[in-house]
Every structure is written in C-alpha cells, then in structure tokens.
Structure 1
Amino acid sequence: MTTPSGAPPTASDRAMWDRVLALHARVERLLGRALQRRHGMGLSEYRALEELSRAGDGELRMQELADCVGLGQSSVTRLVGRLDAAGYAYKDLCPDDKRGVYAVITAEGRQRYEAARSTYAEVLSSALNTAGAEPELARTVQSLRNSA
C-alpha cells in the first residue's frame, strides 16, 4: 500500500486507519444485532431497502444497488432474492434492455424500512457516543462528526 505520493503509509496513517476500522466493525456489529433483533432483518437488507427508498421511482439496476451497498453482483442477487421472498422487493426486467434487471421496492418494503429507520439512527448515535467517550477512539469519532 502506498500514499498518493507513492510513499508507504506512515505509522500515524496506519494507526488512524486501524482506529477507523475498529470503529466501523463495532458500529456495524451493533447495528446488525439491533436490526435483526428488533426488525428481523440484516444490515445489508436494511441498506438495500434504504437505497431503493431513496431512488426516485423506488428502483435501481442491480449493479447500481450492488455499488450502493458495497456488495458484488452475486451477493446482491442473493440479497434481492431474500427481499423478494420476504415481500419487500422484487426483480423486474428493463423494458429497453432485456439484459438489464432492476430491484424494485414494494409498499411493504417501504414500511419495513421506515419502521427500522429509527432503530438504525438510535443505535448509530449511541454507538458513536460510546466510542467517542473512549480515549483511543474519541478523536476519530470527533473527526468523523466534524466532517459531516
């Protein structure tokens, strides 16, 4: 790994990145547990429903959805399959390009997303507050919050 200048990362860069990764892992774990326990959905399902809800017409090409949620093509196909089985989304063919497949959110999917939004926000804020009170993560949390 190198920096944009071609130099290897410094020890401080590495330490900072390790803190970001630790914070990310902790927050993701807490979000995933809370969403599963309270709403019966995983973090990937939540994020897919969020992205589909944000799309103006409630649909995204499968590749766009994969990019938005950080999954590969086969993983997002399985994800949309789970959402389809639950009645939260379905696959639709592009009328102009039969090779194009869209994921489309259903009314029930929108309701599930809306019901889970407050849990996500509450757990995210709580996790960041807790991490922000820890000396090794306080600066990282503060930096992230200040950049938003």
Structure 2
Amino acid sequence: MSREEAWGRLVALHARIEGELGKALQRRHGLGLSEYRALDHLSRATGKNNSLRIQELAEALELNQSSVSRLVARLESAGLSERDICEDDRRGIYTMLTETGRKSFEDAEPTYQQTLEQALEKAEADPQLKAAVSAFRTLS
C-alpha cells in the first residue's frame, strides 16, 4: 500500500469516527463535537476556576481566533462557560466552565467514550480500515 493510500484510509477513519461522535453528542446532549472538546479542555485546565485564555483554547482545539470566538460565544449563550478579563493583562480574556458546563461535560463524556469505542469496532470490521484501527489501538 502506498503512503498516499494509507493516508487516505486514516483520513477516512477519522471522518467516519468524527461523524459518529458528532451525531451522538448532538442527539443525546445537544452539543457539537467542538463544544464537547472545548468543555473537555476547560475541565482539565489548571488555571483559576478551570479557565483558559481564549488563545490557549484556540491552540488546544486547533481553531483560528474567529472560530474559537464564535465557539465560546455559543458556550456562553448556553450557560456552559463565561468570560473573564485577565487581571495581569487587560487585553487577555479567559473563558471558564460554569457549573452547568461542568455537568454537561460530565453527562456527555460517557456518550463520547462509548460512541468512540463502538465506532472503532464498526470501522475495524471494514477491511479497508482494519489496519488503521489496529494502528490506533496500539497507541492508546
């Protein structure tokens, strides 16, 4: 198999699993995959009140500033996070989990984990994706 074919299979695996994760989170918890991942990063943040600078969240999610600003606005509108100004640098803006956001993440996490495992099992049954799934499983 060529490197290009292997990469194509990895991309196909990624797309399939992302799609299944996104559908399950939206259907069961009303969260998009980006929102879930933002809540995940915020829940693990070591800053004050599980906060991250908006720029740190953008880097963690590999989103540009505009996309993460819209994402944070959606989280705030849903009551899942709130913004705070950095006391040391007034230009810096933090986002932090609310209690509602923490609960939403904790409720959605089992769905994410179960869906990920089911999606991997399903993809492993596809002969085109079996090797990619096996490679992933050796990493985790």
Match of 1:140 among 125, 129, 132: 132
Question: What does residue range 70-109 of structure 1 map to in structure 2 within 5 Å?
Answer: 70-109=62-101
Count of paired positions: 138
Give the structure-1-normalised TM-score: 0.91
Runs of 4+ in 1 over 6 A off after TM superposition: none
2:123 matched to 1:131? yes
Q: Gaps spanning 5+ residues in structure 1: where? A: 1-10
Note the C-alpha offset of 1:17. Answer: 0.6
Q: Gaps spanning 5+ residues in structure 2: where? A: none
Match of 2:3 in 1: 13
Give the structure-2-normalised TM-score: 0.96
Match of 2:103 among 98, 103, 111: 111
Note the C-alpha offset of 1:123. Answer: 0.5
Work out which structure has the larger RCO, using CA pairs closer than 8 Å and 6 or more positions apart in sequence: 2
SS in 1 for 2:84: strand
Q: C-alpha separation between the residues in 1 aligned to 2:43 and 2:52?
A: 10
2:53 matched to 1:61? yes
Name the % identity: 51
Q: CA-to-partner distance for each residue in 1:43-91, whole Å, 9 max, x for gaps?
A: 0000000000011241111111011112110110010101001110011
CA RMSD of aligned residues (A): 0.9
